[in-house]
Amino acid sequence: MGALAELAGDEKNGEGSRTFVFLNEGHTLGNALKTIIARYPEVDFCGYTIPHPTEQKLHFRIQSRRDRAVDLLKRGLEDLEALCDHTIDTFGKEMDNFNAMNARVGQEST
């Protein structure tokens, strides 16, 4: 993942509203992370933009009246990591099953 910073100007809105800037990231991270965080009941708004197609920047906005935006971002990244780990594990197991089944079929046909 690229570097992370906060966009200036959110201080007056309290800790629950922040725009984070991810460098060298795009729609892949933005859409996945938005989908996860937007489902949290304490989140009032979550969205992202790519300000300009020639820049490798992702602006990620979280607004909540109850929780700190930075804590919600951290939770979202952890949940996304867990989802990716589960996907990789499930895929690996299914590949092992597929390869074992094909090996048995190959042995029976010889």
**What's the pTM?**
0.81
Could you report the average pLDDT of every consecutive run of 10 residues in the chain (110 residues)? 71 87 95 98 97 92 95 98 97 95 77
Please count the structural domains in the chain. Answer: 1
Domain housing 87:
4-108
What is the CATH classification number for the domain harbouring 74? 3.30.1360.10
CA distances from 74 to 17, 65, 92 (A): 14, 17, 27
